[in-house]
Amino acid sequence: MRSIAKRYTILLLFIVGCAAQQPQITLRPIEIKAPPPQAVNAFIAAKLAEMKGDRDEAIHALRFAIQHDTTSATLYGALARNLNARQRYSEAVEPAQRAVQIDPNDVENHWHLYRGLVTGNKDTILALQELQAIVKVKNISPLQAYVQMLQIYGARNQTALVLQTLDQIAALPHLETTQRMAAAQNFIKVKAPERAEAIYQSILEQEPNNIDVHLNLGDLQFARQDTTAAEKTFRAALLKNKNKVTQENARIWGQLVRVYRRQYQLDRLLAETSLDTSFTETMGQVFLDMAHDPAVKRDDKIEFYRHAETILDRLLEALPDREAYLATKAQLLLETERPADARNFFNLANAKNEKAKYWLGIAHTHMAEKNWEAAQHLLEELHTIAPATSEFYPQIVTDLAQIYLFGDDVPRAREIYQQAAAAVPDQPEYRYSLARTYLRDQEWDDAIKLLAPLQDEMENRPDVLFDLGHSYERAGQNDSAENVFLRLLSLFPDHAGANNYLGYMLAERGERLNEAIRYIQKAVQADPDNGAYLDSLGWIYYQKGEYREAMKWLIKAITIEEEALKQANPNNERQIAALHENLRVIHDHAGDAAQAIGDLRRARTHYERALEFAPNNQPIQDKLKKFIDAPSTSDAQ
């Protein structure tokens, strides 16, 4: 039967070969009984139709061929293949069975039958029999058949048979690493982690630098509470990179964080007779990096800092004169709000090797203690000697200028930024900081001169565009201000401050009020407890003539801003002044709204309250004159 089954294959190869060759050659005659010519012609037509993707025509031709030759496994197998391709799975079962009967060693026919049985007839019992037959065929890989068995056994929740099949897969010779790892993952799914561990161990014997296998094995060991074994596995994975953190092994370091968060494991590491300083040093830095991660919760940060400090103390015990350890400990102490101790360690590091970095750290310790004079003295010295190319120059400039600004010494802060802008002309940040000193002094024209050229250089910075728009508006250049705010919102549509500012500008002018209210509503939606935004919303309702709606939002704004004033630090003069200005404006608006609805007593009360925050405000004084004879009330609500 095998020779009969091969007739069509040989014939097809012969025809294709003859068509492909250019010169004519003479072939030796092959002593194979020729199939019926009608079957041959139909088979060739079917093959050509299949090659063109016309499966229906191929099926029709193959059925005709089988009528003239019922002994060919090739014809039956081809018919089953095309029926399956057309998703006529149940119809494919019969020809596939016939093909298997004629040639039981042809694996493809078994697969055609399996597909028809499992997909068409939903007969998993017979389908499993076909898979069992496939794995017994010699000289083929049974892996695909085993995988199909796993799916069937898994769907039936036949865990014992799943394990048996996984064992058969694991025992296959010449499996690739990815296939062995897949088998291990399946063992884990059916709660047989010990077999997965055995696979991972065997892989590492051949591939000791396979990071993924180390990670998976260590995870299993950690899951069964064997953190000592997990630690050993994870640390072995780092030898390839000599205990350095790389993109490849970053996950391993992350898992070691989990191990050493257990205090007894950290103690055991630090108690090693021969301390692995390379590994321990990196582990300490990893804990510090975790503490610096803004996504980490406060309690976790505290724990990470504590572990990092414990590691540093052990390293300093082993190597007390190591400058890098002293400097790292100093920075850690500064970050954990122990500036005096930090200063001692910065001084120790400086004694080993004097560096601007350490002097800057010492200045920061003084700043943390609000010892501005000492910090200023150090920073002024550093500013004198540090070249503009120094990596610490930007921090020195920023810190020194901020200290001057804290002391309201704006001219000296401005001078520092001017020098920096001149020294590093390609760094627009210095020019922006310089512009902000003019904003502080409300010197709008000077601020505009610096900010206008920056709107292209720093377009990705919404604060630059906002400050420019604000400066234009304060300078009375409303059209320019509006253009800048529109540009800002085209880049950052959800910028609450710009939405509020632009909406308020339009409201103040009584222009495009429907457009203005959309801007302000967007700002309020982003920050519903912002008193300034609520005031803008109330004021625009006032401009629209909806006075009672205006009062609702203005009273809410007053409540929020009055509470903010109660909570404010009385020593923060700038914050207090800003809150007074906000309340002056909101009470003034509330007075106008109350007057518009005829509540003259409430209007007078709001104007009086506004005048408390701005005693010399002439427009408010003029409004109050109209209420000389009107009774007052202490209830502004």
Residue 427 backbone zone (phi > 0: left; psi -120 to 50: alpha; other: beta)? beta
**Which two structure tokens, joined as six digits, stand for 416?**
């520092």
The average confidence (pLDDT) of the chain is 91
Judged against a pLDDT cut of 80, whether residue 12 lies above it is answered with no
Domain boundaries, the chain: 1-122
Backbone angles phi, psi at 338, to 5 degrees: -125, 65
d(CA 292, CA 334): 13
d(CA 377, CA 383): 10
392: helix, strand or coil:
coil
Query: What is the pTM (predicted TM-score) of this model?
Result: 0.72
CB 345 within 8 A of CB 336: no
pLDDT attached to residue 20: 47
d(CA 605, CA 400): 46
390: helix, strand or coil:
coil
d(CA 52, CA 417): 75
pLDDT above 70 as % of the chain: 93
In the chain, what are the helix, strand and coil shares in percent, each to the nearest 5? 75, 0, 25
In a 13 Å sphere around the CA of 271, the CA atoms on its Cβ side amount to 6
What sign does the dihedral 566-568-571-575 (CA atoms) show? negative
CB 296 within 8 A of CB 304: yes
- For the stretch 426-475, pLDDT in tens is 999 999 999 999 999 999 999 999 999 999 999 889 999 999 999 999 99
Q: Specify the DSSP class assigned to residue 617.
A: -
Chain centroid, CA 490 distance in Å:
25
Q: Does domain 1-122 have CATH number 3.20.20.450?
A: no
pLDDT attached to residue 2: 46
pLDDT attached to residue 636: 43
- For the stretch 95-110, pLDDT in tens is 999 999 999 999 999 9
Q: Specify the DSSP class assigned to residue 355.
A: -
Q: What's 316-344 look like in SS3?
A: HHHCCCCHHHHHHHHHHHHHCCCHHHHHH
Judged against a pLDDT cut of 80, whether residue 7 lies above it is answered with no
Say how many Å lie between the first and final Cα of the chain, rounded.
103
pLDDT attached to residue 637: 42
Q: Work out the pLDDT band at 35, boundaries 50, 70, 90.
A: confident
Backbone angles phi, psi at 628, to 5 degrees: -55, -40
Which one, of 115, 114, 117, 147, lies nearest residue 133 by Cα? 114
- For the stretch 271-280, pLDDT in tens is 988 899 999 9
106: helix, strand or coil:
coil
CB 294 within 8 A of CB 340: no
- For the stretch 489-520, pLDDT in tens is 999 999 999 999 999 999 888 889 999 999 99
pLDDT attached to residue 10: 54
Longest CA span, the chain: 129
Cβ contacts of 126 within 8 Å, gap of 6 or more: 117
Q: Work out the pLDDT band at 18, boundaries 50, 70, 90.
A: very low
Q: Residue 226: exposed, middle, or buried by beta-carbon count in 10 A (0-12, 13-18, 19+)? A: middle
- For the stretch 320-378, pLDDT in tens is 999 999 999 999 999 999 999 999 999 999 999 999 999 999 999 999 999 999 999 99
Backbone angles phi, psi at 400, to 5 degrees: -65, -45
CB 95 within 8 A of CB 115: no
Judged against a pLDDT cut of 60, whether residue 292 lies above it is answered with yes
Question: To which H or E segment does residue 201 belong?
Answer: helix 193-206
Query: How far, CA to CA in Å, does 620 sit from each of 116, 509, 584, 614, 635?
Result: 90, 19, 9, 9, 19
d(CA 538, CA 81): 75
Q: Work out the pLDDT band at 140, boundaries 50, 70, 90.
A: confident
